[in-house]
Amino acid sequence: MPDITPAGGRPWEPGTATGVGSLPGIDPVEACRLVFDELPDLPHLPELPARGAGADMIGRSAGLLADTPVDLQPSGWRLVPRPGVDLRRTRDLLARDLDALSEVAAGYTGPLKVAVAGPWTLAATVELPRGHKALRDAGASRDIAEALVEGLAGHLADIALAVPGARLIVQVDEPSLPAVLAGEVRTPSGFGVLPAVEEGVVVDRLRTLLAATGVPTGVHCCASKPPVGLLRQAGAAFVGLDATLLTPADDDAIGEAVEAGVTLMAGVVPARDVELSELSDVCRTVEPVRSMWRRLGFAPEQLREVVVVTPTCGLAGATPGYARVALRRCREAGRALADGSV
């Protein structure tokens, strides 16, 4: 892997903005151009779930699992004994994404973020061969995590070949993690819930994945009450969260993470179409993180070093025009933090 440590110890510059992952549309070349146009400081490999099964976060990530084939059933993705047409389609879609990335990012040198669903969200979503959630079976959950480590390594190697000048950064998406910890993952019938997983087991499995990538790796959790302290213990280089959902109850864990050197990727720009006038005031956009920062009592000049601006989750559900404006507002908000104008 190429060198990943710039001046200041973080793989991006102060005031940077980036995306979360998903975008509207079905054209991967167009999506990559949008990302590199509007988020030049920290572009990411986009997901385009509108293309159908296999292009979504779960399908794409399940398709990466080494020697662990999946197939699509009416209830969702399921572990199966041998590869089938759904897995081939999923991998074909990813190959097209990498071709688009190689075309658009030709000659690019700089940080590039890649997202993958985490082991606990996959275990809470993918089903066993006989139909129950993989999370129910400790051995199956472990196998998924191990297959993800191996599959992600191959995925990163493919991206490094597609964009040789990129300094890779990995975002592990764990939207189901709070439910896993709280024992709130629903059974396939919807009438029951699976037992909570011990915190130590969750931390160990995440730590193994984060350490195995060999590049800066963090965890994104867009749910309310994100387990920031647990993610810090697991060694996350950054934590992605929805800043509009944070409350003072989250402050202690966030403050401890910041003091430990963890960066925050803070969702502040609405992902769903709103009146564009609501996005015109940069001060209003970044107010959730500025309010949090004041509560934490850190020096104002540190904010630009610690916070990367992102949209909130769900940008795939927006119109293409709004998505472009939202990413542009993220960039403007990040640069406003950098120059101290907000």
pLDDT for position 339: 82
CA 341 from centroid of its chain's CA atoms: 28
Closest among 334, 335, 331 to 34, alpha carbons compared:
331
pLDDT for position 300: 87
Higher-pLDDT residue of 12, 157: 157
pLDDT for position 280: 67
What tens digit of pLDDT does each residue of 124-159 get? 999 999 889 999 999 999 999 999 999 999 999 999
Q: Is the pLDDT of residue 1 over 70?
A: no
What tens digit of pLDDT does each residue of 74-124 get? 989 999 999 999 999 999 999 999 999 999 999 999 999 999 999 999 999
pLDDT for position 276: 59
Amino acid identity at 46: P
Kindly indicate the confidence band of residue 7, based on its pLDDT and cuts at 50, 70 and 90. Answer: very low
85-104 helix and 28-38 helix, angle to the nearest 10 degrees: 40
Dihedrals phi, psi of 17, to nearest 5 degrees: -125, 155
Kindly indicate the confidence band of residue 236, based on its pLDDT and cuts at 50, 70 and 90. Answer: very high
pLDDT for position 4: 33
What tens digit of pLDDT does each residue of 252-282 get? 999 999 999 999 999 999 887 666 556 667 8
**233 contacts 210 by C-beta, under 8 angstroms:** no
pLDDT for position 64: 98
CA 16 from centroid of its chain's CA atoms: 16
What tens digit of pLDDT does each residue of 31-79 get? 999 999 999 999 999 999 999 999 999 999 999 999 999 999 998 999 9
Report the alpha-carbon angle 200-204-205, nearest 5: 120
**210 contacts 232 by C-beta, under 8 angstroms:** no
Kindly indicate the confidence band of residue 284, based on its pLDDT and cuts at 50, 70 and 90. Answer: confident
28-266 CATH pick, 3.30.1360.120, 3.40.50.970, 1.20.1250.20, 3.20.20.210:
3.20.20.210
Tokens representing residue 211 in the block: 């350490």
What average pLDDT does range 231-253 have in this prediction? 95
> What letters, b where the CB count within 10 A reaches 16 and e where it falls short, cover 228-239?
bbbbbbbbbbbb
3-state SS string over the chain?
CCCCCCCCCCCCCCCCECCCCECCCCCHHHHHHHHHHHCCCCCECCECHHHCCCCCHHHHHHCCCCCCCEEEECCEEEECCCCCHHHHHHHHHHHHHHHHHHHHCCCCCEEEEEEEECHHHHHHHCECCCCCEHHHCHHHHHHHHHHHHHHHHHHHHHHHHHCCCEEEEEEEECCCHHHHHHCCCECCCCCCECCCCCHHHHHHHHHHHHHHCCCCEEEECCCCCCCHHHHHHCCCCEEEEEHHHCCHHHHHHHHHHHHCCCEEEEEEECCCCCCHHHHCCHHHHHHHHHHHHHHHCCCHHHHHHHEEEEECCCHHHCCHHHHHHHHHHHHHHHHHHHHCCC
What tens digit of pLDDT does each residue of 173-204 get? 999 999 999 999 998 877 899 999 999 999 99
- Name beta bridge partners: 218: 171
Residue 171, by phi and psi: left (phi above 0), alpha (psi -120 to 50) or beta? beta
Q: Rounded CA gap, 179 and 200, in Å?
A: 15
CA atoms within 13 A on the CB side of 248: 3
Q: Rounded CA gap, 164 and 101, in Å?
A: 11
Higher-pLDDT residue of 326, 1: 326
Task: Enumerate the domain spans of the chain.
Answer: 28-266
